[in-house]
Amino acid sequence: MPARKDRRTRRIVLIICVAGGALLTLIGIRYFLVPQSAARTFGVPDRSEGFELHYIVGLRNVWLGLLAVAFAAQREWRALALWFTAAVVVCFADGLIAATSTGSVPQVAFHLGCGIASAVLAVLCWRASPANTLGHPQTGDFAALRGSFAAFQRWRQAPDRPL
């Protein structure tokens, strides 16, 4: 029964990770389509004449969102855990930027909420990882090396070994 609960939990975390990556990708695309509105939603006023900064932020969000979706599709739990751990810092930094720029409560709350959600997902992804220790048999980190060493030991102890 616990294995079934584990699979269900992993599936739920996986779905949330894919949704989070897809959402970030859509936010990035929004910066390309309606940059002024996206900047206001982010929590910074539109002061620039061009949209270069908006496109930079949009591109950042698109590739990071697609990266999260790719990690989730491959069930790369440790990669997702690292991704969401880094997202915590980015979300809180974005919240600080929004707070010192416009100070608008909904935008700041959105960034802080995303930071908290990212922290929770990072922990869940670490827990979902089938191998959160170095050299775990399922990761193959040292399994091949151990097998080669064992074969070498058998060869070395053989009385009629070829030189």
Asked whether residue 87 carries a pLDDT value surpassing 90, the answer given is yes
Check residue 156 and give its pLDDT.
65
For helices 52-73 and 77-101, the axis angle rounded to 10 degrees is: 150
Q: What is the average pLDDT across 8-23?
A: 88
Is this prediction's pTM over 0.75? no
Tokens representing 134?
């170095």
